[in-house]
Amino acid sequence: MPEPDHMHWEGRWGDLEAIRQLKARYCRFVDTKQWTRLAALFVPGTVFEGFGSAPTGADERQFIAGISARLAEVVSIHHCHTPEIAFTGERSARGIWQMMDYLQFPDGQRPREAPDSPGFVGWGYYEEDYRLCDDGRWRFCFMRLTRQRIDPLAADHPPVRAGFIAPTPDWL
């Protein structure tokens, strides 16, 4: 069966890579708590659905305020892989990414997704829309998190260890 027209990538390899880089920066900026840089990845009016840190329908300002407050002291690790990306126009695209996240909350805090646990490992999908902006950069304009599974960390899960080398925010 032939692919729908919107799936053809001929001549779009640079755009595909730019969208993959956008998603990689999203994960890194969340996990390294670079909230100002994270905010720059979204067009004004981006809509969010399915996130524990902002209500469904939140815009990018509400999302950044919510995620920066909720994850400020949390060890988080986000992995996104095997993207499917379709171009829906010259300056628009849609994608779906498999995801896995690990969140470990500090002593005394409990996530609402696993209230009897110090954290969780979750699996699901990001469903996203992207826009090519006038400055030549791709940005998110819609982001939905869907979850298929959440596994609570055991109550006696080892505490966060200190002393690791932190990522360098300006490495690239």
Closest of 81, 85, 110, 84 to residue 98, by C-alpha:
81
pLDDT at 7 (0 to 100): 56
Amino acid type, 168: T
Q: How many CB atoms lie within 10 A of CB 108?
A: 6
Q: For 19-35, what is the mean pLDDT?
A: 97
Lowest mean pLDDT among 29-38, 102-111, 127-136: 102-111
Confidence of residue 1 (pLDDT cuts 50, 70, 90): very low
> Which residues make beta-bridge pairs with 47?
142
CB 120 within 8 A of CB 113: yes
- Joined together, the tokens standing for residue 19 give 């969208």
User: Comparing 12 with 43, which gets the higher pLDDT?
Assistant: 43
Mean predicted lDDT score pLDDT of the chain: 92
Reported pTM: 0.91
pLDDT: which is higher, 122 or 108: 122
Is residue 107 pLDDT above 90, yes or no? no
Question: pLDDT, tens digit, for every residue of 71-101?
Answer: 999 999 999 999 999 999 999 999 999 999 9
**The pLDDT of residue 162:** 78
Write the pLDDT tens digit of every residue in 7-16. 566 679 999 9
β-bridge partners, 95: 85, 128
Residue-wise pLDDT tens digits, 95-106:
999 999 999 998
pLDDT grade for 42, boundaries at 50, 70 and 90 = very high
